[in-house]
Amino acid sequence: MMLKFFSIIFSFIFISCSNAEIKNKIIQNLKDTNNLDFAFEQNINGNVERGNCTIEYPKKIFCQYIKSNNKILVSNGKSLVIKTKVSYYRYPLDKTPLNLILDKDYLINKIYDLSERIVDDNLINFTIFEKDNEINIFFDNQNYDLIGWQNIDIYQNFNITYISPIRKNRILPRNLFKLPLQN
């Protein structure tokens, strides 16, 4: 009976330590990352778009969509612009879920406090609830890189973004995050 009790205690401590180790590796990876670029696949309510993005922390992103009306998405850290050949939308970044996703300090602080969920042995998921937003952030269970997120966008569309392959800490063009002008 005593042996069984110690086995349960040991298993609990081992699981807690391995979970803390996973969090620490993800947090260190985020701390070590100043920018990243990647290909993406985005599914918004069943409409799939692909392209390439660059993120520079904090809160900057440039995405160029493939085969979609010259669509780009740009944040300079304060505003978010989505521009195509025929449309131009500008939003305050802090009114969008990207405001949280693009803030690595915010993510690090949240990860400290959240419980992770291992999905299919290869994904680590954290669920963030903030200001009427539910955001699921996913990391790779092998290299602890960010590999995607899912959320509800500002139009109440269900959005899943998967990213890969990732390149980190590259030299970026100076004006990459300059907001495009309206046509």
Radius of gyration of the chain (CA): 19
Residue 178 belongs to a domain:
no
Q: Could you tell me how many residues make up the chain?
A: 183
Are 156 and 41 in contact by the 8 Å Cβ rule? The answer is: no
Q: What CATH number is associated with residue 142?
A: 2.50.20.10
pLDDT for the residue numbered 156:
87
Residue 14 CB neighbours (<10 A): 10
Tokens found for residue 169: 């800490």
β-bridge pairing 133-140 and 123-130: antiparallel
- Compute the mean pLDDT over every residue in the chain, rounded to the nearest whole number: 89
β-bridge pairing 35-44 and 158-168: antiparallel
pLDDT for the residue numbered 68:
73
pLDDT for the residue numbered 14:
37
CA 16 to mean position of chain CA atoms:
25
Residue 34 belongs to a domain:
yes
pLDDT for the residue numbered 66:
95
In tens, the pLDDT along 41-57 reads 999 999 999 999 999 99
Rounded CA gap, 127 and 107, in Å? 11
In tens, the pLDDT along 18-30 reads 578 999 999 999 9
Residue 8 has pLDDT above 80, yes or no: no
Tell me the residue range of the domain where 135 lies.
2-168
Residue 79 belongs to a domain:
yes
Rounded CA gap, 175 and 56, in Å? 12
Tokens found for residue 21: 């180790």
Q: How many CA atoms lie within 13 A of 19 on its CB side?
A: 16
Rounded CA gap, 100 and 116, in Å? 18
In tens, the pLDDT along 74-120 reads 999 999 999 999 999 999 999 999 999 999 999 999 999 999 999 98
Residue 180 belongs to a domain:
no
Nearest CA to 48 out of 68, 73, 69, 64 is that of: 68
pLDDT for the residue numbered 50:
96
In tens, the pLDDT along 135-149 reads 999 999 999 999 999
Number of domains present in the structure of the chain: 1
